[in-house]
A and B are shown apart, each in its own frame.
Chain A
Amino acid sequence: MKTIRLLIVLSICCLILSPGLLWAEGPDGIPPAQSMQPDAQAAEGTPAQGVESGSQVAGGDSISSEPDDEYSDYSESEESQPIISDPFEPVNRAFFVFNDKLYFWVLKPVSRGYRAIAPSPIRVGIKNFFSNLGFPIRFVNCLLQAKFTGAGNEFERFFINSTLGLGGFIDMAEREFKVKAVDEDFGQTLGRYGLGQGFYINWPILGPSSALDTIGLAGDYLLEPTYYADIDTKYKVGIKGVKTINNTSLSLGDYETLKDSALDPYIAFRDFYIQYRQKKIKE
């Protein structure tokens, strides 16, 4: 019953988001990811184009008015620039401020307090435990992308870590057998099959995402063990909370460094996110 309800919600989400995805794919939309080869011609011919329009933020890769060779980049076909449109920028920026406050006022102090009482090996163990529970997501998405070696590795890891690794707390597979996790999710699967990122969405609480990854996230939710656990919603939220606090306690300071390195943190995180996801899809 619950599954059906969620599927309905999912399909509505897809319906809402699909125009964005189609737009991203369509020839009239944003230009496809550009290669690093400079197009000196375009820049030279029309000086007014020197500054790209807002939706093509990451597009201006080439450097103008100079001979090709001097600036041609080390390029492979995979080295194209990620581009994302951001039609909801004002809303996204508002949520960026909200999430930023949420981090500094709630998540950071709580994670710090937690770090003070829980020793590092325990926190790493808990992180491993949650990561082990994410096995279905990685396994299924490996299969969906026909990455059979990856699926095999994931299966092996789940088996080893759930038994020898004492229910996932110790990553025995990596430590003793050098089998590494294969980080796949539904967003990457959809990307693999050629769907574009669509537009950028910065969700409250959840943070940076795209139209594509939002659908991906909803899909992955169906593969989470907690979704099927017969417990109250408030406990499910609680489990998510513990996971978030635990993971944050292991990476305190990272957000601050990234934010501090930026001239415009909102744009910086948007670009980080898209570049990172594009790289993940290619892997």
Chain B
Amino acid sequence: MSLKYIKRLLPFLSILLMVVPSFVMAGEATDRVKTVSDKIFSIISDKTLQTPEMKAKREQMIMDVVDSAFNWEEFSKRTLAKNWGKRTDSEKQEFIALFKELIKRTYMEKSGQYSGGKVEFLDEKIDGEYGSVKTQLVSSSGTQTPVEYRVMKKDGTWWVYDVYIEGVSLVSNYRSQFNDILVKSSFEDLMKRLKEKVKGA
């Protein structure tokens, strides 16, 4: 008799077991990414900010939100890899600014074309000071794009230092481009090309 009850209960139990970890999963790192993504969604879906006149303001607002969680220095460090250590402090600062600008000009273009869609948070993994937050971008037409944020803990907060879109690391993609230029030419040339790219929209 009691066995029968247990048998009936089993499916519920297994569902419970599957559900519970997903609650536990949402940790600090996920919260951090979620706050940023919520803020960005509220900006891009704000109709009053969609107009061409508001373009500059909208972009500034988004950039402020992104800056609050993206550690551009860590991004830059990783894209320059072995060449980072050889640069002077002022060169580093200049590079960080240019790299940020490069990312900004690429992804800001799209911020005015939001047509619905949402972010789903799938998983979080933490390994000491490092972690990853797996999300999925679902467009209004239902297309799913996996986006993974790599985060690191610095001064008690989590910072994003790389983004994987469809399994492709942004940092490593830029690193291969920068490295190719550094191998064939020089750091000065890399900076020159970055400046030209950022200027000429």
Residue of A nearest to B86 (CB): A50
Residue of B nearest to A54 (CB): B183
**Among A71-79, A140-148, A153-161, A225-233, which stretch is in contact with chain B?**
A71-79
Tell me if A's interface is mostly helix, strand, loop or mixed: helix
A74 and B77 within 8 A (CB): no
Residue of B nearest to A262 (CB): B177
Which residues of chain A are near B166, meaning CB under 8 Å?
276, 279
Which residues of chain B are near A51, meaning CB under 8 Å?
82-83, 179, 182-183
Known: A57-B180, A267-B177. Is A275-B168 also a contact (CB below 8 A)?
Answer: yes
Size category, A interface: 35 or more
Residue of A nearest to B151 (CB): A74
Size category, B interface: 35 or more
Q: Does A65 contact B (CB under 8 A)?
A: yes
B181 and A263 within 8 A (CB): yes
Which residues of chain A are near B177, meaning CB under 8 Å?
262-264, 267-268, 271
Known: A51-B179, A74-B150. Is A263-B81 also a contact (CB below 8 A)?
Answer: no
Q: Does A247 contact B (CB under 8 A)?
A: no
Q: Does A110 contact B (CB under 8 A)?
A: no
B108 to chain A, nearest CB (A): 11
B164 to chain A, nearest CB (A): 9
Give 6 A-B pairs besides A54-B183, A57-B180 with Cβ atoms closer than 8 angstroms: A51-B179, A52-B179, A63-B78, A74-B150, A261-B106, A279-B167
Q: List 10 A-B contacts (CB under 8 A).
A: A51-B82, A61-B175, A257-B110, A262-B173, A263-B178, A270-B176, A271-B168, A275-B172, A276-B168, A279-B166
Residues on A lying within 8 angstroms of B by beta carbon are 43, 47, 49-54, 57-58, 60-66, 71-76, 81, 120, 124, 257, 260-264, 267-268, 270-272, 275-276, 278-280
